[in-house]
Amino acid sequence: MKAFRAFNILFLCAVVFITLYPFLNIIAQSFSSEGYINSGQVNLYPKGFNVETYKVILADGAFWRNYGNTVLYTVVATAISMVLTTSFAYAIAKKDLKGRGLFIGLAVFTMFFNGGLIPNYVLITSLGMRDTIWAIVLPNAISVFNLLIMKSFFENMPRELEEAASIDGLTQYGILFRIVLPLSKAIVATMVLFYAVANWNSWFSAFLYLDKPDLFPVTIYLRNMIAGVTTAGSAGGTAENVDQIAANIQSVTIVLTVLPILCIYPFVQKYFFSGVMLGSVKE
């Protein structure tokens, strides 16, 4: 038994190290100098410690403005997505809903077929949503994959709970808000994380529908930095530090983009494996 436990500990430590190594390497490169990065000498800790790229990016007012845009887009888009996804999933989870098969079929159809890039662009433009927040938060408001996951979760909830609540006089909305959602913290937290991460990392919609730099999310800002390092000069960069920025710009951008999600995840992950339904119905 002791040998088995020792093997498990060593094996899990190896898995943890293999998992963490890419992140540690990225962080180390973001604080390393150009020569060490280009020669491949940076592994788990920085070499030729520098924060030049961080200084250039963090000193730029456009970065903070775009970062604020990303926070706003993520919060609004996630809230809209959760309201629509939860409502839709709860409705189609009812097997006695008229037209249930049609609604599910229409949702699944969109997973495999869509109008295409040009029709979508024409639609967003004709609706007057270009250069507005709505072009970012509305077109992809419902993920059918997330919708089907929530639908399956709601279908597996004991019907006795809702029947008892209905007998006690609760309306359908009351059952949803006072019975179903409190027992669905795990799936709701998971969906919030999925939507938040997707919206936080999204850049193509903004690249397609936004022309004003003041409306860009931070992903577009960082993309432009990676593409040409042209923002370094306007942010106070000099000819001497442009080469340094080019060497570790990718690592810095990854760190700055991933950091907020890493800070939020510990507060959400506790719901992933919680048995919220255990003991809800007693014989």
* pLDDT, position 88: 93
* Cα–Cα distance for residue pair 23/18, rounded to 1 Å: 10
**Tokens linked to 57:** 């990016």
1-56 confidence digits (pLDDT tens): 788 888 888 999 999 889 888 888 888 888 888 778 777 778 888 888 888 888 88
Question: Longest Cα pair distance anywhere in the chain, in angstroms?
Answer: 75
245-268 confidence digits (pLDDT tens): 666 777 887 888 888 878 877 776
Label residue 271 by pLDDT band (50, 70, 90): low
pLDDT of residue 89 exceeding 70, the answer is yes
Contacts 24+ apart (CB under 8 A), 271-275: 271/185, 271/186, 271/188, 271/189, 271/190, 272/186, 272/189, 272/190, 273/186, 274/185, 274/186
Distances (CA, A) of 38 to 29, 32, 52, 86: 10, 10, 16, 48
- Which letter, b or e, does each residue of 219-256 get, where b requires 16 or more Cβ atoms within 10 Å of its Cβ? bbbbbbbeeebebbeebebeeebbebbbbbbbbbbbbb
**Where are the extended beta strands (E) located within 84-234?**
none
**Tokens linked to 254:** 């990854």
Cα 189 from chain centroid (whole Å): 12
* Cα–Cα distance for residue pair 204/76, rounded to 1 Å: 18
174-212 confidence digits (pLDDT tens): 888 888 888 888 888 888 888 988 899 888 888 889 988
* Cα–Cα distance for residue pair 3/1, rounded to 1 Å: 5
112-157 confidence digits (pLDDT tens): 888 788 888 899 999 999 999 999 999 889 999 889 888 888 888 8
153-184 confidence digits (pLDDT tens): 888 888 888 888 888 788 888 888 888 888 88
Distances (CA, A) of 19 to 44, 52, 101, 201, 255: 13, 28, 42, 21, 16
Determine contact, residues 31/46, Cβ cutoff 8 Å: yes
Determine contact, residues 213/204, Cβ cutoff 8 Å: no
Mean of pLDDT over the chain: 82
